[in-house]
């Protein structure tokens, strides 16, 4: 290695060390923070399918959704939701809604937007349809409840009310207030 090459090498090394030192000395302690707030990085699923099991581990119900997203550490949000009970549970109801939310510390599924619960063997053994904009469903105890306006069709009969509690397993319905109906003999 010639003297000229060695001198160039030493000058380049000194320049690199000098620029590194100047870059480090311009920083204040604790300035390693990002210049923006990072986004919450939860999971999301397309064509989600969640299975609920009973105490013995057998399939109790299935929640299907077009999209599921973890919106916080303890909450999952769903869109285009369908809930079906397994044949072994002997609950002949299917529930659909535009959206749903499940909170970690609650057993209830909070359904919103065009909520429909339908059954071929519903109340009084007739085709039954329940419609509302909001419904809280506890799929493990088979209870559906809403404080909102609800429309119910049981065979040829039609009812509206404000507030409802329904036991889907026992096909029992309790309407809270403002009950109006149309009965055809």
Q: Name the average pLDDT for the chain.
A: 85
pLDDT, mean of residues 168-176:
87
How confident is the model over 79-131, as pLDDT tens digits? 999 999 988 888 889 999 999 999 988 889 999 999 999 998 877 777 889 99
Residue 39 belongs to some domain of the structure: no
pTM listed for this prediction: 0.73
Residue 13 belongs to some domain of the structure: no
| Per-residue confidence (pLDDT) for residue 54, from 0 to 100 | 83
Structural domain boundaries enclosing 111 = 44-182
29 SS3 class? coil
End-to-end Cα separation, the chain, in angstroms? 110
Residue of 167 and 54 predicted with greater confidence: 167
Residue 153 belongs to some domain of the structure: yes
Residue 123 belongs to some domain of the structure: yes
Domain with residue 87: its CATH number is: 2.60.450.10
Residue 32 belongs to some domain of the structure: no
Residue 116 belongs to some domain of the structure: yes
Residue 7 belongs to some domain of the structure: no
Residue 65 belongs to some domain of the structure: yes
How many CA atoms lie within 13 Å of 133's alpha carbon, on the beta-carbon side? 3
Q: How many domains does the chain have?
A: 1
């Amino acid at each position: 290695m010639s003297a000229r090459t060695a001198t160039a090498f030493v000058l380049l090394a000194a320049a690199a060390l000098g620029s590194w030192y100047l870059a480090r000395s311009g920083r204040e302690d604790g300035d390693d923070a990002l210049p923006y707030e990072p986004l919450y990085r939860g999971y999301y699923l397309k064509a989600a399918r969640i299975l609920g099991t009973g105490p013995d581990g057998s399939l109790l119900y299935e929640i299907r959704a077009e999209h599921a997203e973890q919106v916080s550490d303890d909450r999952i949000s769903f869109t285009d939701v369908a809930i079906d009970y397994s044949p072994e549970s002997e609950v002949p109801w299917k529930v659909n809604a535009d959206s749903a939310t499940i909170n970690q510390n609650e057993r209830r599924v909070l359904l919103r937007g065009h909520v429909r619960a339908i059954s071929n063997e519903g109340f009084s053994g007739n085709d039954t349809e329940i419609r509302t904009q909001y419904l809280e469903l506890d799929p493990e105890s088979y209870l559906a409840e809403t404080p909102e306006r609800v429309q119910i069709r049981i065979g040829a009969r039609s009812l509206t009310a404000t507030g409802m509690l329904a036991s889907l397993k026992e096909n029992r319905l309790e309407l809270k207030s403002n009950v109006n109906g149309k009965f055809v003999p």
